[in-house]
Amino acid sequence: MKYLFSSFGAYGLAVALLLMCSSKARAQDDLLQKLEAQTTDSLHTDYTQATFKGTRVINGHSVETPGQGTLLFLISHRFGTLNSGAYNFFGLDEATIRLGLEYGLTDKLTVGVGRSSLEKTFDGFGKYRLLRQSTGLHTMPVSVTVFASAALNSLKFTGPEHPTDTRFTYTYQALIARKFSTNLSLQLMPTLVHRNLVDTRAEQNDVYALGFAGRQKLTKRVALTMEYYYLLPGHTADEFRNSLSAGFDIETGGHVFQLHFTNSRGMIEKFFIPQTTGKWQKGDIYFGFNISRAFTLKPKA
């Protein structure tokens, strides 16, 4: 019995010594652990950033807005179709362009204007971030941005003159996105395009569509993107194609380059949603790019 105690005592001493040594080494980390326990993530709301790289996925808008005081200059460009042959340099001879400016009035509210060479169209839009995906104190599974735009066709009438309001097309969209991981973001876009004037009686003034978009980051600065707008059944869906686009986002400092292939020629909603004619399987594919450059006009205090 005595022997047992003494041996236990010796072991105990050794253990105690070991504990003392290790506790000294660990004390700093213990303090850090105590601190981590005190400053848990539940105290702050952690908003998800950069669900998409740019304010556009490809043709359509993403949930992103430029942020307060930031002016974006956008150049969007589409060449002709790839199947137009060597004579047309596989589409490179042709060009459709849109120049745009958009400005973040606040972190949530953005206004923008643009001019497309297609049908000499002017467009203006407003975009508001309704909800932001977040964790922590406030948890929100998705980001929601609402979008409304008006587009004005300024081509001269070939026939009799119509009142000005016949030139307008309006688009209303809800952009619902979730960043599932650092690399994967998906977006859903229920859309309504209202055209004040259509060519024939059979055509729809109101065209409903459901858009899907995704981004998969390949490296820190390169991402694969894809976008699809499904036209809800109706005359427009019968006569026109669904818009399908795929491309790459490449980011360098204040620029975002987006290179893509799409069956849509126009770069605003009124064109690519109800007026896409290209068929991918026939090679009616437009190669194009978007370049956006950010200027900080008003730095945050």
Partner 1 sequence: MNYWLLLVLYLLPLARPDAASKYSTRTGMISFFSSTFIEDIEAHNNQVGALLDLTSGQVAFSVTMKAFQFKRTLMQEHFNENYIESDKFPRSTFAGKLLNFQPTQLNQPGPQEVQVEGDLTIHGVKRHIKVPGTLELKGNQLLAKSKFIVAPADYNIEIPALVRENIAKTVEVTVSLACDPAPQQP
Chain positions contacting partner 1, by CB under 8 A? 27-29, 31-32, 34-36, 38-39, 41, 43-44, 46-47, 49-50, 66-70, 104, 107, 181-182, 220-221, 252-254, 294, 296, 299-301
Q: Distance (Å, rounded) from C-alpha 259 to C-alpha 76?
A: 10
Strands 143-153 and 168-179 come out as: antiparallel
CB of 55 to partner 1, least distance (A): 12
**What are the C-alpha distances in Å from 145 to residues 41, 174, 295?**
26, 6, 22
CB of 225 to partner 1, least distance (A): 16
Q: Distance (Å, rounded) from C-alpha 260 to C-alpha 137?
A: 39
What's the count of helices (H) and strands (E) in the chain, helices before strands? 3, 14
Give 115 or 178: the residue with its C-beta nearer to partner 1. Answer: 178
Contact 271, 169 (CB under 8 A): no
Q: Distance (Å, rounded) from C-alpha 256 to C-alpha 252?
A: 6
Give 72 or 118: the residue with its C-beta nearer to partner 1. Answer: 72
Give 120 or 221: the residue with its C-beta nearer to partner 1. Answer: 221
Q: Phi, psi at residue 54, to the nearest 5°? A: -115, 180
CB of 197 to partner 1, least distance (A): 39
Give 88 or 296: the residue with its C-beta nearer to partner 1. Answer: 296
CB of 253 to partner 1, least distance (A): 5
Contact 284, 263 (CB under 8 A): yes
CB of 72 to partner 1, least distance (A): 10
- Which DSSP symbol is given to 231? E
For residue 32 the two structure tokens come to: 């850090």
Contact 150, 121 (CB under 8 A): no
Give 9 or 136: the residue with its C-beta nearer to partner 1. Answer: 136
Give 224 or 232: the residue with its C-beta nearer to partner 1. Answer: 224
For residue 190 the two structure tokens come to: 């229920």
For residue 247 the two structure tokens come to: 């491309």
Q: Distance (Å, rounded) from C-alpha 152 to C-alpha 149?
A: 10
CB of 299 to partner 1, least distance (A): 4
Give 156 or 300: the residue with its C-beta nearer to partner 1. Answer: 300
- Tell me if residue 218 falls in helix, strand or coil: coil
Cβ neighbours for 158, distance < 8 A, ≥ 6 positions apart: none
Give 52 or 208: the residue with its C-beta nearer to partner 1. Answer: 52
Which secondary structure element, helix H or strand E, spans residue 272, and what is its range? Answer: helix 269-272
CB of 44 to partner 1, least distance (A): 6
CB of 63 to partner 1, least distance (A): 14
